[in-house]
Amino acid sequence: MIRVGDAVKLSAARCRTHRCPEGREDNKTAKVRCRCPNIRPGAVMMDRDLQGCRWRNVADLGRT
């Protein structure tokens, strides 16, 4: 289970399809800042961009 404060990376399946948008940071790891179930079940916000996106779903993440 991924919790707030955990260091995470994208799962291998998501990394294969990853494309970092221009102007975003392409960090390989980030820490979970908060869970956001009011946005979508499984949604989390990172402390920084995780390969181009600050918002992810726990299903796409793995702990480092």
19 burial (CB, 10 Å; 0-12 / 13-18 / 19+) is exposed
Largest distance between two CA atoms of the chain: 31
Which range among 1-5, 9-13, 51-55 shows the weakest confidence by mean pLDDT?
9-13
List, in order, residues 6 or more apart from 32 with CB less than 8 Å away. 2, 3, 4, 5, 6, 8, 44, 45, 46, 47
For residues 33 and 41, give the distance between their C-alpha atoms in angstroms, rounded to a whole number.
16
pLDDT at 17: 75
pLDDT at 47: 98
pLDDT at 19: 80
pTM of the shown model: 0.88
Give me the amino acid identity at 20.
C
